[in-house]
Amino acid sequence: MLWTTSLLAAAVALLPGAGVNAAGTTLRFSCAQLVVERLDPIVNPGVVASPHLHQVVGGNSFNASMDHDVPSASSCTSCTPVDDFSNYWTATLFFKAKNGTYKRVATKGNPLGYSASNGGQTVYYLSSGKVTAFKPGFRMTVGDPSFRTAKEIAKYKMLTFTCLQTSSTRDGATTNFPKGQCKVGIMVSVRFPTCWDGVNLDSPDHQSHTAYPSGSACPSTHPVSIPQVFYETIWDTTPFNDKSLWPDDGSQPFVWSFGDKTGYGNHADYVFGWKGDTLQKAMDSGCSSDLFSNDIKCPAVKVQTIEQTNKCKKDVMVNDKLDGWLTELLVVSW
């Protein structure tokens, strides 16, 4: 299928050494929704509740702080690889009605293979050559919730929105919210940088220990090639496609949970939590994943069914009212 080729071509375009070793590794899998709540153990560790709402997938040891040994503290994961207790999260999306109230938009399983998933997101680990897997304790963020312009977000490569007219729409990606109705939903794609300083598991801004490649190689300041972590979150905006519900001035009605109507504040968080050296083995063995099913062609990675991932949950610590029409967003400050 043509679009499959172009999807992967786009995905590997920013990898160090892209084109040198075209084989590489494509590890793609489904993660169901673990929890939706106001916690952010990277940016606001120990703070209950964090300034804005997140949707979180992965290991059930996700907590206000993540100082523990993630694989041993987790008893299940909402991702299909059974040894992956990492946590992956993004902000959440809201629809703003004409009367000023907000309704939360749900995530949905990727129609390309993972429609049985109870929301959540698709996760990829990509490489085009030899990469060094993350170490226990590693974490990073990408994007900046304070950004509101195209010029600002240009600092980050490949944080995009795709207006899905079909499940496989992959053209027309933008760095701000789509302007019109999207028949299948809005896909938010987030690709993290692929170079690491080789030393720090985190940094004060949670980003400067990582960097983008310059050209096809990692810069001398960040010489270690790491897997490209890539999220696709599909927001089910279809209940809000009735044009009469949209603003009369022609603007679009969606807003991030931190109050951003532009979309340029798109950002995401990652805490590594694979058991042992499973991720390194997977990246070393040139695994591939079927784009239409839960089939990971990778002996190093044992998978559970999507039905099993749907059962992995974490108790909510922050009892916010999340459903119904809300009079305000749960934003503390931005």
Contact between 124 and 228 (Cβ < 8 Å): yes
By the rule CB under 6 A, 325 interacts with ligand NAG = yes
Under rule CB under 6 A, residue 101 binds ligand NAG: yes
97 is a site residue for ligand NAG (CB under 6 A): yes
Choose the binding region for ligand NAG from 94-102, 148-156, 162-170, 299-307 (rule: CB under 6 A).
Answer: 94-102
CA–CA distance, 75 with 312 (Å, rounded to integer): 9
Residue 158: CB minimum distance to ligand NAG, A: 32
Contact region with ligand NAG (CB under 6 A), list: 96-104, 203-211, 281-289, 290-298 = 96-104
- Assess 245 for contact with ligand NAG (CB under 6 A): yes
Between 61 and 160, name the residue whose CB sits nearer to ligand NAG: 61
User: How many other C-beta atoms are found inside a 10 Å radius of the C-beta of residue 270?
Assistant: 24
Q: Contact with ligand NAG (CB under 6 A): which of 26, 30, 55, 63?
A: 63
CA 209 to CA 205: how far, in whole Å? 9
Dihedral (CA of 207, 266, 15, 125) sign: positive
- If you compute the radius of gyration of the chain from its CA atoms, what whole number of angstroms results? 19
- Which residues ranging from 169 to 198 are in contact with ligand NAG (CB under 6 A)? none
* Distance, CA of 31 to CA of 28 (rounded, Å): 10
Site for ligand NAG in 261-320 (CB under 6 A): 314
Q: Pull the structure tokens for residue 229.
A: 């972590």
Residue 334 in contact with ligand NAG, rule: CB under 6 A: no
Under 8 Å CB-to-CB from 154, ≥6 apart: which residues? 175
**Using CB under 6 A as the criterion, which residues of the chain lie in contact with ligand NAG when the complex forms?**
61, 63, 97, 99, 101, 245, 314, 325
